[in-house]
Amino acid sequence: MVIRGKEIKNLIVGGCSYSSYTELDLNYGTYLSDMFGFKNIDGYNAGCGSNHRIWRKIVTDLRNRKITPSDLLVIQYTTNERREFWSRHHNDTNFNVGHPIKGTPMREDYEHGQLIKFKFNMVGDGMPKEEKELFQLWEENFICGEYESEIFDNTHFMLVKTLDSLGINTIFLGTQYQHDMDLWGSKFCSYISIREDIDGDLDYCLNGDDCYHLSEKGHYRVAQILGEHIKEICLQ
């Protein structure tokens, strides 16, 4: 498939557990790949993931030319307070989030330590006391909503301009986590919201009541919406 003059071979989805394999064997990335014959590249979405992780993974691979104009990106941002920290501590009780095989590790090995994921109310059993203290102090003293929004807007702006300069086709996905994003007249980036189609429909909620994650039907519906959006882009 050709999108904006680029032959697309691979699909890369960046996001949190909303886009990952949360209690399911298939997600909207796999459905969308099957629809268009793309190769689905995993590893960019993660349970308990953050915008910081999305930016790190994508920009690193853009710099290293592992993401090229033959890739189509779908980016589902999550809430702004989430982030990664590097820790020198190792936790041997590590596990995959959301799915025992297809899920991403809760703690990701990095150099001689691990990357740990922060969001509200993350302090739990098994964490080293230094990490518990860090998360408690961070949550109680070092989060300002306006500041986090400014950091998000600035980094999103830099990413859009970078994607445009490299000719990387990208769809930013509006969800209950993050929506109404500016693209500043981008040539290669587009935006579509799934909130009106998805929010409030219990059939699309995981297990019928967890609307922070998608059911199998929900993932398929998101793939359908994205598929129609891709077809519209191709006609432009």
pLDDT at residue 125 in the model: 75
User: pLDDT by residue (tens digit) across 93-130?
Assistant: 889 999 999 999 999 999 999 999 999 999 877 899 99
d(CA 11, CA 29): 7
- Average pLDDT of the chain is 96
Could you say which DSSP state residue 211 is in? E
For the record, the structure tokens of 158 come out as 């830099």
CB atoms within 10 A of CB 169: 23
The burial of 147, by beta-carbon neighbours within 10 Å (0-12 exposed, 13-18 middle, 19 or more buried), is given as exposed
pLDDT at residue 93 in the model: 81
Closest of 21, 55, 42, 8 to residue 172, by C-alpha: 55
The CATH class of 2-81+146-235 is: alpha beta
pLDDT at residue 92 in the model: 78
pLDDT bin (cut points 50, 70, 90) of residue 152 is very high
User: pLDDT by residue (tens digit) across 46-74?
Assistant: 999 999 999 999 999 999 999 999 999 99
For the record, the structure tokens of 36 come out as 């268009």
Identify which has the larger pLDDT, 124 or 190.
190
Closest of 212, 134, 205, 169 to residue 7, by C-alpha: 169
Q: Specify the pTM.
A: 0.97
Relative to beta strand 10-14, strand 71-75 is parallel
Please answer whether residues 172 and 233 qualify as being in contact, where contact means their C-beta atoms are separated by less than 8 angstroms.
Answer: no
Domain boundaries of the chain, sorted by first residue: 2-81+146-235
For the residues of 104-128, what is the DSSP string, one character each?
EESSEEETTEEEEEE-TT---TTS-
d(CA 106, CA 127): 12
Q: Is the pLDDT of residue 209 over 90?
A: no
Place of tokens 């994508």: 58
Closest of 194, 156, 153 to residue 173, by C-alpha: 194
Distances (CA, A) of 92 to 9, 98, 126: 38, 18, 9
